[in-house]
């Protein structure tokens, strides 16, 4: 189990710049914090049942990354922050999923129906929202199931770049719009064979 967990490496790349199509071997230039909010990414690891035809049984196998990531927004300011999250993260966040060669990963059928020729967001949506009022140092976490939108192959290496544009609904402690988009990069290593 520890071998698989160790094989799934992740890295938050810190710096300054915009989300863009860069070579995945070069660190992306990110903005994980804007002084008010901080965004962190981490892989969600899952155990899977594997059937054994010889014994007619199944066992719970080592941990495997299957395309889900955890996104955490933390209030890095000294005052309460008002954050609005769209219920359809793939439309609010700009997400780029690249394979080990740096090529964009194809969309699933559902991903094509949601994003179509537009490609990954962000887009303005009116499908519903979750509102959080975060106290200083308080965090809100949710999961993105990337495999719902992209054709993720468990065990393969990926570079995932996420950008969260801040909109007028996101307010700082004095009820002014928060300035400065958040972006981070997560590297998923190929599973050990």
Q: Which helix (H) or strand (E) holds 5?
A: helix 2-7
Instruction: Point out the residues of the chain with pLDDT beneath 70.
Output: 1-28, 48-49, 51-52, 59-62, 117-129, 167-175, 193
Which structural domain, as residue segments, surrounds residue 151? 2-68+92-124+143-166+179-188
Establish if 77 belongs to a structural domain: no
Residue 48 belongs to some domain of the structure:
yes
82 assigned to some structural domain: no
With a CB cutoff of 8 Å and minimum separation 6, the contacts of 119 are: none
Express each pLDDT in 28-49 by its tens digit.
Answer: 578 898 888 999 999 998 776 6
Residue 140 dihedral angles phi and psi, to the nearest 5°: -125, 130
Asked if residue 35 is part of any domain, the answer here is yes
pLDDT 10s digits, 125-134: 545 567 788 9
Residue 165 CA to residue 33 CA, distance in Å, equals 12
In a domain, 81, yes or no: no
Q: Is residue 55 part of a domain?
A: yes
Element (H, E) at 38: strand 37-52
**What burial class does residue 114 get, using C-beta atoms within 10 Å of its C-beta: 0-12 exposed, 13-18 middle, 19+ buried?**
middle
Residue 110, domain member (yes or no): yes
Give the H or E element holding residue 14. none
- Classify residue 154: in a domain, yes or no: yes
Per the confidence metrics, is the pTM higher than 0.95? no
How many domains does the chain contain in total? 1
**Alpha helices, DSSP H only, in 28-93?**
89-92
């Amino acid at each position: 189990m520890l071998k698989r967990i160790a094989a799934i490496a992740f890295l938050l790349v810190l710096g300054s710049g915009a989300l863009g199509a860069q070579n995945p071997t070069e660190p992306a230039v990110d903005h994980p914090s804007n002084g008010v909010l901080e965004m962190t990414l981490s892989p969600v690891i899952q155990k899977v049942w594997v059937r054994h035809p010889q014994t007619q049984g199944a066992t719970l196998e080592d941990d495997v990354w299957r395309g889900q990531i955890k996104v955490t927004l933390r209030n890095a300011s000294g005052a309460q922050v008002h954050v609005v999250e769209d219920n359809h993260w793939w439309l609010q966040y700009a997400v780029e999923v690249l394979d080990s060669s740096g090529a964009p990963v194809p969309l699933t059928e559902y991903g094509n129906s949601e994003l179509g020729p537009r490609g990954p967001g962000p887009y303005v949506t009116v499908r519903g929202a979750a509102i959080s009022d975060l106290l200083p140092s308080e965090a809100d976490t949710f999961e993105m199931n990337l495999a719902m939108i992209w054709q993720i192959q468990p065990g393969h290496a990926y570079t995932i770049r996420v950008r969260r544009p801040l909109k007028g609904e996101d307010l700082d402690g004095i009820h002014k719009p928060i300035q400065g988009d958040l972006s981070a990069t997560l590297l998923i290593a190929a599973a050990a064979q």
